[in-house]
C-alpha cells in the first residue's frame, strides 16, 4: 500500500496561466491588455474596460446582445477570443454618439420606441449600424432577414425595423450623420 | 471554459508545427469552437490561432473555376462578385445559414469543420458516441426530430449542420489540404464521412492536416439552380431539410443534374445513381417525383424525424420548380 504522504505529493501547484499581451483600440482609444487566453472580447469589454453597454445575453452567439463592431463589421463579441483580435479597432454602443449628440440610429430607436426592456438594444443598434454599412438590406423584409441574429424577447421587432428603415432612407443611407 | 494555451501562427509551417501537441486545435473564426469550449464539448489544451495566415483570397483557379482561401469569411464569399455572378447557388446557401454577425467571422474552412448541433452531442451529461466514443447515443431513442434519415449507423444519427457544404457538394468542389505528408486534393463528397463505427470522425482530414482552400470547377450552373431550405423559423435556424440543386436544360430535356441534400445525413448527401437515371429525361412532374423518391429510397425514419422523408421529396420538387421556373408539383394538394 502506498503511504507516501510527503509534502511534495500533496503540494498541488496552480498550473501556470499564460498571459497574452494585446492592444485594442476601443472607441477610438488604444488600450493594452495582458489577458488570459480564454478571455472573450465581450468579457474584456465588460470586466476589463467597464464598458457594460455591450450585453451578455446567451453567451453562445444566438441572441446578438453582445454585438459590437470590429474594424467596422458587426460580430458576436461573446464568440471572439480577445487575444485573436490584437490590433483591431472596436466600436461599442458607448462609442457611437458624438459627445452629447446621439448617433442617428440611437435617436431613431428612441423616436420609434424601438425597445421595451432595453437589454437587447445596444446589440440591436450596433448590428443595425453594421448592417447599413454592409449595404445589402434595402426594405423591411431584407432588414428583418439581415437582423435575424438579434433577438428581442419583448418583441419590439416592428418598431426596430421602422427605426432602421428611417435611418436607411435618410443621410447617406448608411446612418452616418 | 477549460484552460488552454494560445499560440499565434505566423505561417502555415509554424501553424502545423504548433499543432503537434496533445489536444491542440486550430482557431480560425472560432464561432463554433469557442462555443464548444464553453460547453465543455471541446477541451483543447492549446489553440493555434491561424486567423492571420494569408489564406483569405478568392481568385481565379487554373481549372477555369474559382479558388477560395480557407480563411475567407462566409460573408466575403457570399458577396464576392465572382461568386455572385458565377456560382449564385453557393452564395444563396451561405446566406441561408447562421446570422450576419456569425457569417462576418466564420471562415470557409471552419464552416466545413463545424460540429453537429445534435442536442445530445452538446449535453455533456448524456452519452454520445461522437463526443465520447463508446458511451452510447442519446438521440437514437430520444428526441430526434432534427436527426438523420440517410446513411446512419447504430452508433450515431447526427447530421452535418452546414448550408455552405451542401452547395459545395452539388457544385463538385475540391478541397485542398496541406500537412506533414505534403499537399493533397480531396473531392468534396470524399471530405466528410458517414458515422459508421467512428462517429467521432466527421471528416477524412488527418490530425496533422489543415484545409488551405476550396476550388470550384469551371462549370457554373448560373441559369438553373436552387437552394431550398426548410426550417422551423424563417431565418437563423438550422435546416430540417435543405436541397442544393444545379441542372442543365436543353429545352425540356435534363442534360445534367446535381442534387445535394442537407439536414438529412452525417454529410451532404449525393446520389449519383439517381442523378444518372434522371439525365436525358424530359422534365415532367413524374420524372422529378421519381427522382425525389429515388433520393430517399434508403431513408429510415424514427418517431421524431420520419416526417423528413416526405419533406425531403417535396423540397426536391420545389427546388426543381425554382430552378426551372416550371410547375412540377403533381396536384394542388401536393403543392410543396
Residue partners of B254: CB distance under 8 A and separation at least 6:
B247, B248, B278, B279, B280, B281, B282, B283, B287
Render pLDDT for B238-249 as a digit per residue (tens, 0 to 9). 999 999 999 999
Do A78 and A141 lie in one domain? The reply is no
Say how far apart CA A40 and CA A77 lie, in whole Å. 7
Judge contact between B176 and B63, C-beta under 8 A: no
A112 and A165 part of one domain? yes
Q: Which residues of A touch B15 (CB under 8 A)?
A: none
Residue B187 pairs in a beta bridge with B174
Instruction: Say if A176 falls within a structural domain.
Output: no
- The pTM assigned to this predicted structure is 0.95
CATH number at residue A165: 1.10.150.120
The Cα diameter of chain B in Å comes to 61
Region label for B73, one of left (φ > 0), alpha (ψ between -120 and 50) or beta (otherwise): beta
Chain B contact set for A148 (CB, 8 A): 99-100, 234-236
- Asked if residue A108 and residue A89 are part of one domain, the reply reads no
Strand B46-49 and strand B5-8: pairing? parallel
**Of residues A59, A74, A80, nearest to B100 (C-beta):** A74
Supply the ipTM of this predicted assembly.
0.96
Confidence of residue B114 (pLDDT cuts 50, 70, 90): very high
Q: Per DSSP, what are the bridge partners of residue A101?
A: A98
Q: How confident is the model at residue A176 (pLDDT cuts 50, 70, 90)?
A: low
For the stretch B186-199, pLDDT in tens is 999 999 999 999 99
Contact A76 B49 (CB under 8 A): no
Are A28 and A90 part of one and the same domain?
yes
Nine-digit cell string for B44: 483543447
The DSSP code sequence of A107-135 is HHHHHTT--SS-SSHHHHHHHHHHHHHHT
Instruction: Please tell me whether residues A27 and A89 are part of one structural domain.
Output: yes
Kindly determine whether residue A61 and residue B31, on different chains, have CB atoms separated by under 8 Å. Answer: yes
| Location of C-alpha cell 490584437 | A86
Mind telling me how many Å the CA of A141 is from chain B's nearest CA? 11
Tell me what the mean pLDDT of segment B321-336 comes to: 78
Confidence class for position A15, pLDDT limits 50, 70, 90? low
Domain membership of residue A8 (yes or no) is no
Residues B214 and B226: beta-carbon distance below 8 Å: no
CB-count exposure of residue A135 (10 Å: 0-12, 13-18, 19+): exposed
Show which of A61, A95, A129 is a domain's final residue: A95
Q: Please, are residues A40 and A34 in contact by the beta-carbon 8 Å criterion?
A: no
Residue A11 domain flag: no
B49 — contact with chain A (CB < 8 Å)?
yes
Average pLDDT in the B66-77 region?
98
Cβ–Cβ contact B24 with A under 8 A: no
Record: fold of B225-324: Enolase-like; domain 1 (3.30.390)
Q: Are B185 and B151 in contact (CB under 8 A)?
A: no
Angle at B157 between CA B156 and CA B160, to 5 degrees: 105
**Same structural domain, A76 and A126:** no
Do A90 and A108 belong together in one domain? no
- Domain spans, chain B: 225-324
Q: A155 in a domain, yes or no?
A: yes
The candidate with the shortest Cα–Cα distance to B222, out of B312, B92, B318, B328, is B92
Domain check: are A42 and A69 in the same one?
Answer: yes
List all residues 6 or more positions away from A69 whose beta carbon is below 8 Å from its beta carbon: A75, A90, A91, A92, A126, A129, A130
Residue A126: closest CA among chain B residues belongs to which residue?
A: B101
Number of domains composing chain A: 2
Chain A touched by B81 (CB under 8 Å): no
| Closest CA of chain B from A3, distance in Å | 32
CATH at residue A61: 3.10.20.30
pLDDT at A3: 46
Among residues 223-242 of chain B, which lie with CB inside 8 Å of chain A? 234-236
Chain B: nearest CA to A76, how far in angstroms? 6
C-alpha grid cell for residue B328? 412540377
CA distance A84 to chain B (A): 7
Calculate what percentage of chain B has a pLDDT beyond 70.
Answer: 98
Same domain membership, residue A128 and residue A91:
no
Q: Which is it for strands A20-26 and B5-8: parallel, antiparallel or unpaired?
A: unpaired
In a domain, A131, yes or no: yes
Query: Which residue matches cell numbers 488527418?
Result: B206
Give yes or no for residue B335 having a pLDDT over 70: no
Average pLDDT over residues B254-261: 98
- Looking at the fold, whether A76 and A42 belong to one and the same domain comes out as yes
Say if A7 falls within a structural domain: no
User: Chain B contacts of A147, Cβ < 8 Å?
Assistant: 100
Same domain, A84 and A109: no
Under the banding of pLDDT at 50, 70 and 90, the label for residue A5 is very low
Listed residues A95, A112, A136: the one ending a domain: A95
In degrees and rounded to multiples of 5, residue B250 shows phi and psi of: -120, 100
List chain A residues with CB under 8 Å of B31.
61, 76, 79
Burial tier of B304 (Cβ tally within 10 Å: 0-12, 13-18, 19+): middle
Same domain as A142, residue A121? yes
Indicate whether A4 belongs to any domain. Answer: no
pLDDT tens by residue, B15-59: 999 999 989 999 999 999 999 999 999 999 999 999 999 999 999
Across the range A127-152, mean pLDDT stands at: 97
Give how far the C-alpha of residue B60 lies from the chain's centroid of Cα atoms, to the nearest Å: 23
Q: Which domain holds residue A130?
A: 104-169
Contacts of B236 in chain A (CB under 8 A): 62, 148-149
B98 touches chain A (CB under 8 A): yes
Of the pLDDT bands very low, low, confident and very high (cuts 50, 70, 90), residue A9 is very low
Give the one of A20, A74, A130 whose C-beta lies nearest to B6's C-beta: A20
Amino acid at each position: 500500500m502506498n503511504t507516501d504522504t510527503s509534502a511534495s505529493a500533496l503540494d498541488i501547484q496552480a498550473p501556470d496561466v499564460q498571459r497574452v499581451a494585446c492592444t485594442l483600440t476601443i472607441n477610438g482609444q488604444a488600450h493594452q491588455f495582458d489577458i488570459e487566453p480564454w478571455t472573450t472580447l465581450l468579457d474584456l469589454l465588460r470586466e476589463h474596460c467597464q464598458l457594460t453597454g455591450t450585453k451578455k445575453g446567451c453567451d453562445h452567439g444566438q441572441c446578438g446582445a453582445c454585438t459590437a463592431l470590429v474594424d467596422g463589421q458587426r460580430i458576436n463579441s461573446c464568440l471572439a477570443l480577445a487575444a485573436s483580435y490584437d490590433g483591431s479597432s472596436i466600436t461599442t454602443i458607448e462609442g457611437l454618439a458624438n459627445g452629447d449628440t446621439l448617433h442617428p440610429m440611437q435617436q431613431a430607436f428612441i423616436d420609434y420606441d424601438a425597445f421595451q426592456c432595453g437589454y437587447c438594444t445596444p446589440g440591436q443598434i450596433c448590428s443595425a449600424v453594421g448592417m447599413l454599412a454592409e449595404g445589402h438590406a434595402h426594405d423591411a423584409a431584407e432588414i428583418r432577414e439581415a437582423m435575424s441574429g438579434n433577438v428581442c424577447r419583448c418583441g419590439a421587432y416592428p418598431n426596430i425595423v421602422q427605426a432602421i428603415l428611417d435611418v436607411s432612407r435618410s443621410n447617406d443611407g448608411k446612418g452616418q450623420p | 471554459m477549460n484552460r488552454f494555451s494560445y499560440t499565434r501562427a505566423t505561417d502555415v509551417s509554424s501553424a502545423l508545427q504548433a499543432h503537434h501537441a496533445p489536444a491542440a486545435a486550430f482557431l480560425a473564426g472560432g464561432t463554433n469552437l469557442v462555443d464548444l469550449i464553453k460547453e465543455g464539448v471541446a477541451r483543447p489544451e492549446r489553440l493555434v490561432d491561424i486567423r492571420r495566415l494569408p489564406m483569405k483570397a478568392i481568385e481565379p483557379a487554373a481549372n477555369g473555376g474559382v479558388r477560395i482561401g480557407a480563411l475567407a469569411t462566409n460573408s466575403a464569399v457570399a458577396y464576392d462578385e465572382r461568386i455572385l455572378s458565377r456560382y449564385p447557388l453557393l452564395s444563396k446557401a451561405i446566406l441561408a445559414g447562421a446570422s450576419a454577425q456569425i457569417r462576418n467571422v466564420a471562415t470557409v474552412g471552419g464552416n466545413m469543420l463545424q460540429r453537429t448541433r445534435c442536442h445530445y452531442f452538446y449535453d455533456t451529461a448524456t452519452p454520445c458516441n461522437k463526443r465520447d466514443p463508446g458511451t452510447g447515443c442519446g438521440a437514437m431513442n430520444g428526441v430526434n426530430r432534427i436527426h438523420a434519415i440517410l446513411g446512419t449507423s447504430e452508433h450515431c444519427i447526427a447530421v452535418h449542420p452546414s448550408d455552405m457544404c451542401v452547395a459545395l457538394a452539388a457544385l463538385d468542389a475540391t478541397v485542398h489540404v496541406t500537412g506533414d505528408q505534403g499537399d493533397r486534393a480531396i473531392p468534396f463528397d470524399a471530405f466528410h464521412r458517414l458515422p459508421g463505427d467512428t462517429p467521432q470522425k466527421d471528416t477524412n482530414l488527418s490530425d496533422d492536416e489543415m484545409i488551405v482552400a476550396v476550388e470550384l470547377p469551371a462549370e457554373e450552373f448560373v441559369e438553373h439552380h436552387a437552394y431550398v431550405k426548410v426550417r422551423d423559423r424563417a431565418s437563423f435556424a438550422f435546416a430540417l431539410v435543405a436541397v442544393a440543386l444545379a441542372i442543365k436544360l436543353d429545352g425540356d430535356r435534363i442534360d445534367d443534374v446535381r442534387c445535394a441534400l442537407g439536414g438529412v445525413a452525417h454529410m451532404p448527401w449525393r446520389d449519383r445513381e439517381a442523378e444518372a437515371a434522371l439525365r436525358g429525361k424530359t422534365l415532367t412532374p413524374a420524372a422529378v417525383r421519381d427522382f425525389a423518391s429515388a433520393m430517399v429510397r434508403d431513408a429510415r425514419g424514427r418517431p421524431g424525424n420520419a416526417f423528413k422523408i416526405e419533406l425531403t421529396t417535396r423540397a426536391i420538387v420545389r427546388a426543381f420548380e425554382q430552378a426551372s421556373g416550371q410547375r412540377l408539383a403533381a396536384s394542388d394538394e401536393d403543392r410543396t
